[in-house]
Structure 1
């Protein structure tokens, strides 16, 4: 079975860690010190979760997520547009 994994770097203090999850199977989250170790942990958790579903007689979810990588062109006049001025207050 093939799934999409989302891997994110997270900095906590001086340490750099990673987290990963699979959007097709909610609740499967893994953590690790490197991307490779995090992905290996996620694969183990997914295998375990799918095994539990099969034991219960439930078919694992099919792969539904897709990945799109796209570019956004930012022009100077859009960065200073008044309608975006209030967005700075959200952060």
Structure 2
């Protein structure tokens, strides 16, 4: 089973998150942990509303990887 990727960014007043595979599904929090928890709730609600509206649930397609600054500088 695949997992949905969420991306978390620092904002001036906390953190923001979104899921590339679920356009419009976003969450905010004061900490990373809070943001992840809020995003779980947002995704649950988003998918529930999609089901209620009879919309197809998109399969998770996004893949994430991280690189260090050293990796990028060496490229």
Runs of 4+, deviation exceeding 4 Å: none
Residue 50 of structure 1 and its aligned partner are, at CA, apart by 0.4
Of the candidates 11, 21, 42, which is equivalent to residue 39 of structure 2? 42
Say what the alpha-carbon RMSD is for the aligned residues: 1.9
TM-score norm. by structure 2 comes to 0.82
Partner of 2:21: 24
Higher-Rg member (1/2) = 1
**Structure 2 matches for 1:1-91, cutoff 5 A?**
2-12=3-13, 17-70=14-67, 71-73=71-73
Figure out how many residues of one structure are paired with residues of the other and give that number.
71
TM-score relative to the length of structure 1: 0.69
Offset at residue 8 of structure 1 (A): 0.8
Alpha-carbon displacement from aligned partner over 1:16-45 (angstroms, at most 9, x marks no partner): x01111011011111110111111111111
> Which gives a bigger RCO, structure 1 or 2 (Cα 8 Å, sep 6+)?
2
What are structure 2's unaligned runs of at least 5 residues?
none
Shift of 1:72: 1.1
